[in-house]
Copies of this chain bind each other. A is one copy, B any other.
Amino acid sequence: MLKISKLTDYGLLAAVYLARHNGEVASAREIAEFYHLPVPMITKVLKTLHQSELIDSQRGSGGGYLFNGDAEAVTLGQLIEALEGPWDLVECETTDDQGHATCAIRVACPSRRFMFGINRAVKGAFEQVTLGDLTRGVMPVARVAQAAPALGANV
């Protein structure tokens, strides 16, 4: 199915919450209650975001998570990559541990070069949106529009 998982969705919401409270410590429980979502789910994505060094954490009583950087320097692409793991629209471009392509339909590759372009266009669009944009709740139309040409060069 062509959609982001709920976990990723929750992660984006959590990131937005922290970015809106920039520099303030917020517990997983606080964020979960704000969105009416199960606490274990939120803790899971917060841990993931922290492991990717996108947010900071403070352990112990009174601790929690916080975003303490420049929201304009974090892209939607980074967030999704952290939450979803490495991904590609089609298997063709994914590689295994040894860096070899995992694609099973090699013979078809000439028939589907176009998918590489689509893949990069979508990723590029995600790279043009910052956490700051998400926090403001709007999509920067102009910037997304400018995304594709730069990517096209790589096709």
User: Which A residues are closer than 8 A to B by beta carbons?
Assistant: 1-6, 8-9, 12-13, 16-17, 34-37, 76, 80, 84, 87-91, 105, 107-108, 110-118, 121-122, 125-126, 129, 133-134, 136-139, 141-142, 144-149, 151-153, 155
Contacts and interface: CB of A to CB of B under 8 A. Distances in A.
A111 B20 CA distance: 10
Contacts of A112: 9, 12-13, 16, 134, 137
Contacts of A17: 111
B90 A114 contact: no
Contacts of A12: 112, 115
B139 A87 contact: no
Contacts of A5: 1-2
B137 A141 contact: no
A3 B35 contact: no
